[in-house]
Every structure is written in structure tokens, then in C-alpha cells.
Structure 1
């Protein structure tokens, strides 16, 4: 699927895609899960998790973007994701190993394991099709937060169709791909967290 040229991009869709990108959701969910697990000490663990699940991956993506390995930080081409996702998984596995060895709270480690499980599933699907990580990540974040804090966190759910709209409007995904991403994040990410917490 071809992307719209920058001149043709609708500004609201671009702003939504950029402001509500996966990295921001990852930092949001790790901090909130850390707080739920162990208050201020837990926030420290949330920050630790965010470094390996959000910060290092985005630095890796930006490094590849600058070198011309892939087009932009959203890694639009499916074939590029076959290299980017395993790179992200390495960072997540290293972070997870450190968290286990240092005694991180179980809720925070369960969240990171759920992220890793979701990445494995996304990588398998990416071999044949491109699902939306822009909807998968927030769907997983909302599902895990609702399990931890209660169903009132589902009030964040209206963000999902808004993000999905932006991805379709920018012609980065089809409607089917954003729906598949949403279901994958909620079911796989939320389900793995529910089993592991």
C-alpha cells in the first residue's frame, strides 16, 4: 500500500499518528503499571521497562531511518518490519532478563512479557501481511490497564478508532489492518498479561 506524499497528507491524521504513536503508549502503560505494582518504586521499574520496550527501540528505528535502511520511524514497508521487529525483540528480551534478575514487580514483568508475546505474533503475521502496530499497541495497553486498574480504563478505548482512522486516512493501512491490529493487541497482549500477572 503506497503512502500519501507529505504534501497530500491531511494534517489532523498526521498529528494523531505522530502524537499517539506506539512509543508514547508504551511509556504511558509502563509507568502506570509500575505505579499500580509498587507506587513510587514501581514507577522506577516502569521507567526501566520503558527504556527497553520504548526508548531503545525508537532509537534503533531512528538509527535505521538515518542510515536509509527503512523509510521513516513508522516503518511503513512490510518487508522492513521483518528486520525492525526482531531488533525490537532483542531489546525487550534483554530488558526482561534484567528485570527478572533484579527482582522487578510481577505486574511490570508480566506487562513486558505480554509485549514480547505480541511482538512474536506480529512478526509471524508480518511475514505475509501488515497489521497496524499503531492500533495494536494502544489496544494492548488499554486491555492491560483495565485488568490492573479496573474497567473504567476502557474509557480510553475511543482513542482506538481515532488512531485507526488516521492510519487509513494516511493510506498506511487498510481498515482490515487497523481492526486486526486492535484485536491482536487486546486479545494477545491483554490475554498474556491476564495469564501472567
Structure 2
């Protein structure tokens, strides 16, 4: 009897030892589900953070102020017979289209008139818009008086019209300025230089995606901004026969 009891005791110890040697990572069941859920949540949060950072970078690189520099330079050099006068008119145009409005927004931020450089809050957009329109109008007047290249007069006039419509719409609805600016630039450059600039519309897709991901606009707002600018650019180009 004692021998049988000893054998049973040894058998129980061997079974317990066998179970204790199983790695915890091999266990399957309800206890592992919270861990798996936490891992999935962590991965999703990390992916969302990466998307936000990427969208923020795209939004900065393709902002209206950033794209205005290469855009104005390319328009100024279109069919230009002399490099330096074209560059001079380009710098003059950038002063009214980019530098002036950007400085006004920075000053407004420092004075507490706007919350951020993106003008996220719709009710804070009206006075920067008004300043931009005044700057565009004054710039167009200078270009006309100085007999600047016709292409620069065209884009400044177009920018003035688009800006006026965006201001009116912004009073009720937060339409996307980023999408409108890039859409207009891509349309004009494609019209002037041909199909070589058609891929620039891919940048428009990127900037629309970035604005939606950042929560700055809805899909309808970025699409509306793009279509408004494209429609006006095509209409003006056809009207003047450019």
C-alpha cells in the first residue's frame, strides 16, 4: 500500500512539473484576449500618430505660402525673353501674394487676433482674408502700372477673384484654402506648360488627405475648395484665350 501511494505521489508530481514547464506565451484562452486587445490598440494608436505627423508635414510643405514661391517663379519665367526682369517681377508679386499676408497672420497671432497660423477657427478668418484681398489688389495695380508679364497679371487677378469668393463662402462655411490654392496652381501650370505638370494634381490629393486627417476640414470642404479654384482658373484661361 505504501508503495502504491508513493507511486501515485510521484505521478502527481511529474504531471505538475510537466504543466509548470509550459511557457505562458503558449497559453490560449480568455486570459490572453485583453493582452492581444491592448497590443492591437497600441498599434492602432501608433499608426494614427504616424498618419498625423505625415499629414502635418504635407500640410506645411504644401501650404499656400509655400507653394506660392515656385508657382510665381514658374509663371514669371513663362515665355520670358529676359531672366532678371522676370525674377524682379516675381519677387514683387511674392511680396503682395505671400510675404505681406504671411506677416499679417503672424502679427495677428502675436496680438491674439487668431489662434494659430492655420486659421483653424472660421470666425477668425475674415480679417486676414480682407488684408489678403487688399494686398492682391494693390499688387495687381503695381503690375499693371509697371507693365509686368501678362502671365503674372493673370494669376494675381485670378487669385483676387478666388480669394473674394472664398471670403464670402467662409462667412458661412469653412472651405479649404489649402485645396483651393494648390488646385489653382496646378491648373494654371498645366495650362501654361502642358501635360508635364499634370502630375501636380497628385499633390492636390495629398493636401486634401492631410487636411481631412488633421481634422481641419471635411471631405466636402476640401473637394469644394479644389473644384471652385479649378473651375475659375479654367474659365478665366478660356475667356482670355491664354
Q: Same fold (TM over 0.5)?
A: yes
| Counterpart in the other structure of 1:23 | 65
Residue number among 173, 182, 185 corresponding to 1:129 in the alignment: 173
Number of residues of Structure 1 aligned to a counterpart in Structure 2: 190
When residues 60 and 37 of structure 1 are mapped into structure 2, their CA distance, relative to the original with a 3 A threshold, is farther
- Whether 1:34 and 2:79 are equivalent positions in the alignment is no
Deviations 1:117-169 (A, max 9, x none): 10011111112111111110010001011111112211111111111111011
Contact kept, 8 Å, 2:58 with 2:207, in 1: the verdict is yes
**Which consecutive residues of structure 2, in runs of 5 or more, have no partner in the other structure?**
1-48
Residues in 2 aligned to 1:185 and 1:34: alpha-carbon distance in whole angstroms: 20
1:3 corresponds to? none
SS in 1 for 2:78: helix
Contact kept, 8 Å, 1:37 with 1:107, in 2: the verdict is: no
1:195, CA displacement in angstroms?
2.9
1:109 has 2:153 as partner: yes
Output the TM-score relative to the length of structure 2.
0.75
What is the RMSD computed on CA atoms of the aligned residues? 1.5
Matches within 5 A, 1:36-115: 36-38=78-80, 39-40=82-83, 41-115=85-159
Higher mean alpha-carbon deviation, 110-119 vs 74-83, is at 74-83
1:142 paired with 2:186, answer yes
Instruction: Provide structure 1 residue ranges, at least 5 long, that are not aligned to the other structure.
Output: 1-7
- How far apart, CA to CA, are the structure 2 residues paired with 1:190 and 1:48? 25
Separation in 2, partners of 1:106, 1:168: 36
Alignment of 1:171-190 (within 5 A): 171-190=215-234
CA distance in 1, matches of 2:236, 2:167: 16
Q: Structure 1 length normalisation: TM-score?
A: 0.91
Deviation at 1:194, TM superposition (A): 4.2
Higher-RCO chain (CA-CA 8 Å, sequence separation at least 6) = 1
